[in-house]
Amino acid sequence: DIQMTQSPSTLSASVGDRVTITCRASQSISNWLAWYQQKPGKAPKLLIYKASTLQSGVPSRFSGSGSGTEFTLTISSLQPDDFATYYCQQYNTYWTFGQGTKVEIK
């Protein structure tokens, strides 16, 4: 199984901050990586797929990069609506998720 490891587990930030979350795969997954946002009591929402393709309707302050085993999600200027938990997911071989990164208010 391909394991996905995110860092950090928790991130404290302020509105307007630039935020970066890292995701590492246990083996190469090319660019078959997605990022999701989840708020308490809600279903995950797709933000980015194929490592860097922004899903329709997602604000352009979200961006993704990387290939192979190392990937990043960047929020260029954190907004109040962005405080949530973020998950990476590989879909090169079946589907596995990272453990999540909680972005909380500093």
Interaction site with another protein (CB under 8 A): 32, 34, 42-46, 49, 55, 87, 89, 91-92, 94-100
Measure the CA angle with vertex 6, ends 72 and 44; round to 5°. 85
In the complex with another protein, which residue's Cβ is closer, 67 or 92?
Answer: 92
Q: How far is the CB of 15 from another protein (least distance, A)?
A: 27
User: In angstroms, what is the minimal distance from the CB of 34 to another protein?
Assistant: 4
The CB-side HSE value for 84 (13 A sphere, CA atoms) comes to: 20
**In angstroms, what is the minimal distance from the CB of 73 to another protein?**
14
Nearest alpha-carbon partner for 79 in 7, 20, 13, 6: 13
